[in-house]
Amino acid sequence: MHNKRIDKVVILGGGTAGWMTAAALAKLFSPRIKVALVESDEIGIVGVGEATIPTIHWFNELIELNEAEFMRATQASFKLGIEFVDWTEPNHRYFHPFGQFGATLPGVSFHHRWLRARRDGLKTPLSAYSLATQLALDGRFAKPALDPKSILSTLGYAYHFDAALYARHLRTLSEAQGVVRHEGKVVHVDQHPETGFVTALTTDKGDRLEGDLFIDCSGFRALLIEGVLGAGYDDWSHWLPCDRAAAVPCARGEAITPYTRSTARDAGWQWRIPLRHRTGNGYVYSSNFTSDEAAAELLLANLDGERLADPRFLRFTAGRRRKTWDRNVVAIGLSAGFLEPLESTSIHLIQSGIAKLLALFPDSDCDPGLAGQFNRLFALDMDNIKDFLILHYHATSGRHEPLWEYCRHMPLPDSLVEKESVYRRSGRVLVGTDDLFKEASWIAVLSGQGIDPGDYNPLADMLDTNSNLAQLEHIEQVIARSLPTLPVHEQAILAVIGAGRQGAQDQPAPGHHA
């Protein structure tokens, strides 16, 4: 049985997707499996995915990435969540925090305790019970604590980093693990005459790269999965109408905020991603509702620092491949599909593909049952994220520009209709165990977008009114007292990048207990 084992994997394309895949395969399979990667310096990478979500810790642990080295190499900062500005209506803000609201208490989840307390006259907003939210808006940062009694255990965090520097850092690590990089553009693809399996790639430099398994990380071009195998594409632009982005860096401000900001604009939204050496900015917009020239003008007029380059334009269509694994080709990254970076899911979807590939790693015959399972699971991941993004666009009440009128009245996927209606009726969020965005994330956005539940879990009726109000007040006070004792964001960064491996991984957490 072992003579069918894969001996060589060829990755087409570098960038974040290619080098993340190379790093993972090399870490787990080297030296038994040879990994080759072909990319061209002449082909630019998209590189807009500079903000991440907490799932990135899975990948970093998988490849044993040293946090201090990684943060120094990529100009990284910490991220506690996303601030949404002007989405529900002009001059309105809300925050999607990483981590949980309140604290874990017996009986019923915190959100339903808060809903019950609100019925009993509580005026305190839900955001006051999120340590991540309060830290972020105060410009402070702390890592989660392992002690479940500590309020710090409610935190989650991710990173902002320079995607090009991240790819470079992963390349260095991958090549040290034996990955061989080939410079060049692919000019010919060989296929087996009977099975259609890809057997070799030939570059314009004359290199011929044979392999058993091919990973398509060629970005929007999708040279293998679509160009050679014709996997097909499900277009979701009727739900997610933005199809362009203009991106530009600017000089960083005095303070590096520990969160991403998304500001709704007339024909889309603008991102702001704070790094240590600059701030990343972009305008994601629909070409049906504005022009490239107008988009660039609006973006440049809304920078909070001197621009460092001219705007760069990207074109895309929201959606996913009908097959992300076909025969012996697996698409990872933008070649597998695209969901705009509204909730910073681009890098998550890369590592989602990597995780599924590792779990279903085939022999050289590439069992179609494994490919089918990969396709089902990856499609489900994309579908769940798609619904979460559509919610942001659909649930607006105070914006009346043509794009927002369209989004407010467009037909929704049945799965999102069900989630919204159940939440409105009962306060319950329908999420599965494998869904990326858990209950706290859905509650943050539903609440932030002005969708209020009409009821709560009947278990909350069993709570004593005064005791419940007292517990909520205590949690609010613990969070408020903790804030001034925790470091400002820049100090937290320096505590990591100024330390070695030991200091980066073993910082003591303050013992603020709920």
- Residues known to be catalytic: 79
Give the angle 224-343-238 at the CA atoms, nearest 5°. 65
Judged by DSSP in three states, 217 sits in: coil
DSSP string, 135-149: HHHTTB--PPPS-TT
Nearest-CA neighbor of 103 among 472, 477, 485? 472
Question: What does the angle CA 242 – CA 376 – CA 373 come to, to the nearest 5 degrees?
Answer: 145
Q: Which residues pair with 248 in a beta bridge?
A: 281
Identity of the amino acid at 495 = A
Asked if 362 and 213 count as a contact pair (C-beta separation under 8 A), the reply is yes
- Least Cα distance to 495 among 190, 257, 141, 104 occurs for 141
Distance CA 275, CA 282 (A): 14
Dihedral of alpha carbons 497, 502, 506, 508, sign = negative
C-alpha gyration radius of the chain: 24
Instruction: Write the secondary structure of 316-348 as one string of H (helix), E (strand) and C (coil).
Output: CCCEEECCCEECCEEECHHHHEECCHHHCCHHH
DSSP string, 170-198: HHHHHHHTT-EEEES-EEEEEE-TTT--E
Q: Are 437 and 343 in contact (CB under 8 A)?
A: yes
Do residues 493 and 74 lie in contact, with contact meaning Cβ atoms separated by under 8 Å? no
Task: Establish whether the linkage from the previous residue to 31 is cis, with ω within 30° of 0.
Answer: yes
CB atoms within 10 A of CB 150: 20
Distance CA 82, CA 248 (A): 19
Residue 495 tokens, joined: 């505590």
End-to-end CA distance of the chain: 56
Strands 260-265 and 268-274: antiparallel
How does DSSP classify residue 364? T
The runs of H, that is alpha helices, within 402-505 are: 402-409, 414-426, 439-448, 465-482, 489-497, 501-505
- Strands 260-265, 81-85: pairing kind: parallel
Exposed, middle or buried, 52 (CB in 10 Å: 0-12/13-18/19+)?
buried
